[in-house]
């Protein structure tokens, strides 16, 4: 009978390997958490995460693969190598990210970044934690790699939990990585053997002079423990007092205490000022300005098409909106009362026409009730909310990120609303709660005449806010004569647009129209190929959906409102163009409507997210995306 290849000792070794892989999860989670948080403001979420698992698993495998396992001489320095990699990571991540992002390739750029920065960093950290366990030959390499791979899903889960910890919003990526670097090097110092072996000479009687010198050396010698303590103290003092400020990433501190302007304009002449930067629920929320040039240079800026006099709101790499100010804050007449921010800066029109287009809900005249109450889901800069408030509607807001609400209040002129009308929470939970309250006896909830649903961010939408279940919950707070407005950014003639249209028609009863926000008329080919904002209007009324003309009082002194609302009918999308693809969708196995159980919207948006990233890079100069 052949000899048994497995023994109790092998089982213990496998258990030790598993525990070692598990112990890798925590340092790996910190690396992934800080790395993603640093890269997403430059590459957005979907391009950043597309290849991230592949490169992370490659990095975890590298310490186990030949010829790396034969580099034994480096093993004694592994703690110092990992400490160096962690110390260099903040600057390396930022500079390599902006360098590759300038190629304007959302596939190649992140891949190169991961290969240059993430792989060496994760490999160095993994090398410190993992160990090569003596297991049976046929499982040796495989078992070590599997235990390392097993740490990745655990680390990803922990990293996702860390993203939601508000206590970490005020802790920068540089602080986390540099403290981790100092800890790693300090642990390496503790592990270093400070005892110098003495050479043994052939036996011979020492002279009196040799005895005397030996006695003096013994008195002056320092014990290994004191050598380690001295080395630890010297390293940490030197690191935190000298290198710590230098190794910080060049990104601005968040939260930013005071506005900060770049010392000089870019080569194109763009002058940037950051008014606010804060880490929050949906990522890094930044309010910035392309500043107004000196009056003598204004004509030259206009002729060159250089961006200026615009204030914008970013959530990571998503542009939530913006307004013109200074010489670009225009009005229709001198008597028009301008909108101002919290310190009195005059603000002009929105940089996006889609927010003004949403206000056309006020122009619906096929319902039998004048609008009184309006609900905004997804605030952005608050363009639509502010306009409806100026038209004396009672406004309620549901916004998941408090930092977005604060930015809209301070920098974009959002009026002070009743605290009972501001809900800083996830819209899905809010709508479910309102639906439950609706069925309680004696409940007198507000029914909204206008609901504006605009939750696009980062190249995509939260797919759970487009399902029938959510819309049914939302429908419970809409007046029977009310109108729901849904903004969707993408391609007009596409599977996602058709899915959303069918879902809305099924939920509200089929009285829907759609409009695009382009400043010019579009051909069918452009509707198929151009990335646009599509605004769906659906009425719960039994009457066909119609709109009255926009009058002067509807425009609030805004040239953009005159442009968008005055030409509303020319912007209407022929919905038969969308419905032509319904049969093809069925043939492709797509669901008829979006439900919680069958929701392909998220996967459909991955390709679109890359196109949106490219579009944003073409629309705005690099300096706006690189300064935060």
Q: Length of the chain, please?
A: 628
User: Structure tokens of 434?
Assistant: 């309102």
User: Structure tokens of 11?
Assistant: 């089982």
CA-to-CA dists, residue 281 to 41, 225, 396, 459, 516, angstroms = 14, 46, 20, 17, 30
Question: What does the alpha-carbon distance between residue 286 and residue 275 come to, in Å, rounded to a whole number?
Answer: 8
CA-to-CA dists, residue 199 to 196, 202, 203, 587, 591, angstroms = 9, 10, 12, 83, 80
Please answer whether residues 399 and 604 qualify as being in contact, where contact means their C-beta atoms are separated by less than 8 angstroms.
no
Q: Starting from the edge strand earliest in sequence, which strands make up the sheet with 448-453, in order?
A: 422-423, 394-398, 373-377, 448-453, 478-490, 532-539, 512-516
Could you tell me the end-to-end alpha-carbon distance of the chain, in angstroms, rounded to an integer?
70
Maximal C-alpha separation, the chain = 116
Question: What does the alpha-carbon distance between residue 424 and residue 238 come to, in Å, rounded to a whole number?
Answer: 45
Q: Which secondary-structure segment (H or E) carries 388?
A: helix 383-390
Strand partners, 139: none
CA-to-CA dists, residue 41 to 175, 272, 286, 406, 448, angstroms = 18, 17, 10, 20, 35
Question: What does the alpha-carbon distance between residue 353 and residue 549 come to, in Å, rounded to a whole number?
Answer: 18
Please answer whether residues 154 and 22 qualify as being in contact, where contact means their C-beta atoms are separated by less than 8 angstroms.
yes
Instruction: Pick the catalytic residue from 254, 341, 454, 554.
Output: 454
Is 454 among the residues known to form the active site? yes
Please answer whether residues 407 and 287 qualify as being in contact, where contact means their C-beta atoms are separated by less than 8 angstroms.
yes
- Tell me the angle at which helices 140-163 and 8-23 cross, rounded to the nearest 10 degrees: 30
Of 128, 26, 132, 131, give the one whose Cα is nearest residue 82.
128
Coil, strand or helix at 201: coil
CA-to-CA dists, residue 448 to 304, 354, 383, 513, angstroms = 46, 21, 18, 19
Q: 500-504, long-range: CB within 8 Å, 24+ apart, which pairs?
A: 500/466, 500/536, 500/594, 500/601, 501/536, 501/575, 501/578, 501/579, 502/582, 502/592, 502/593, 503/466, 503/467, 503/468, 503/471, 503/593, 503/594, 504/471, 504/536, 504/538
Please answer whether residues 610 and 458 qualify as being in contact, where contact means their C-beta atoms are separated by less than 8 angstroms.
no
Coil, strand or helix at 393: coil
Of 615, 361, 605, give the one whose Cα is nearest residue 482.
361
- Which are the catalytic amino acids? 454
């Amino acid at each position: 009978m052949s000899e048994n290849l497995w023994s109790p000792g092998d089982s213990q070794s496998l258990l030790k390997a598993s525990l070692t892989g598990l112990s890798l999860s925590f340092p790996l989670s910190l690396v992934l958490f800080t790395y993603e948080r640093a890269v997403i403001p430059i590459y957005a979420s979907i391009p950043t995460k597309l290849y991230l698992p592949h490169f992370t698993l490659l990095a975890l495998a590298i310490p186990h693969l030949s010829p790396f396992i034969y580099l034994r001489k480096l093993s004694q320095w592994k703690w110092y190598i990992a400490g160096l990699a962690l110390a260099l990571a903040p600057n390396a991540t930022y500079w390599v990210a902006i360098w590759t992002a300038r190629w304007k390739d959302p596939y190649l750029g992140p891949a190169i970044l991961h290969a240059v920065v993430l792989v060496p960093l994760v490999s160095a950290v993994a090398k410190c934690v993992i160990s090569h366990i003596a297991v049976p030959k046929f499982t040796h390499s495989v078992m070590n790699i599997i235990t390392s791979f097993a740490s990745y899903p655990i680390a990803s889960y922990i990293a996702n939990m860390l993203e939601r910890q508000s206590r970490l919003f005020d802790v920068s990526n540089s602080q986390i990585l540099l403290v981790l670097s100092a800890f790693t090097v300090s642990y390496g110092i503790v592990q270093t053997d400070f005892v110098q072996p003495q050479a043994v000479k052939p036996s011979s009687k020492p002279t009196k002079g040799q005895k005397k010198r030996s006695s003096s050396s013994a008195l002056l010698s320092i014990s290994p423990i004191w050598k380690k303590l001295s080395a630890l103290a010297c390293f940490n003092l030197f690191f935190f007092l000298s290198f710590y400020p230098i190794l910080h990433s060049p990104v601005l501190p968040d939260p930013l205490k005071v506005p900060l302007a770049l010392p000089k304009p870019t080569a194109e002449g763009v002058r940037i000022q950051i008014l606010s930067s804060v880490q929050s629920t949906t990522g890094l929320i930044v309010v910035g300005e392309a500043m107004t040039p000196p009056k003598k240079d204004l004509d030259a800026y206009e002729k060159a098409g250089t961006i200026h006099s615009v204030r914008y709101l970013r959530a990571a790499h998503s542009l939530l909106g913006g307004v013109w100010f200074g010489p670009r804050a225009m009005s229709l007449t001198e008597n028009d009362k301008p909108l101002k921010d919290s310190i009195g800066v005059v603000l002009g029109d929105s940089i996006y026409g889609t927010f003004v287009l949403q206000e056309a809900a006020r122009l619906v005249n096929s319902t039998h009730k004048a609008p009184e109450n309006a609900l905004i889901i997804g605030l952005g800069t608050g363009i639509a909310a502010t306009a409806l408030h100026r038209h004396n509607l009672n406004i309620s807001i549901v916004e998941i990120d408090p930092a977005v609400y604060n930015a809209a209040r301070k920098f974009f002129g959002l009026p002070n609303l009743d605290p009972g009308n501001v809900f800083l929470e996830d819209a899905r939970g809010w709508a479910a709660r309102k639906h439950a309250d609706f069925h309680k006896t004696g409940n007198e909830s507000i029914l909204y005449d206008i609901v504006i649903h605009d939750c696009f961010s980062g190249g995509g939408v939260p797919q759970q806010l487009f399902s029938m279940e959510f819309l049914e919950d939302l429908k419970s707070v809409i007046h029977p004569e009310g109108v729901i407005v849904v903004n969707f950014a993408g391609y007009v003639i596409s599977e996602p647009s058709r899915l959303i249209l069918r879902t809305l028609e099924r939920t509200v009863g089929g009285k829907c129209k759609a409009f695009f926000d382009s400043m010019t008329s579009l051909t069918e080919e452009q509707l198929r190929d151009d990335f646009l904002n599509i605004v769906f209007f659906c009425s719960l009324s039994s009457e066909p959906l119609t709109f009255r003309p926009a009058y002067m009082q509807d425009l609030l002194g805004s040239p953009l409102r005159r442009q968008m609302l005055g030409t509303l009918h020319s912007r209407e999308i022929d919905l038969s163009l969308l419905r032509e693809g319904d049969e093809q969708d069925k043939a492709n196995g797509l669901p008829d409507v979006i439900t919680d159980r069958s929701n392909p919207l998220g996967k459909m948006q991955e390709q679109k997210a890359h196109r949106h990233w490219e579009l944003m890079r073409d629309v705005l100069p690099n300096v706006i995306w690189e300064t935060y």
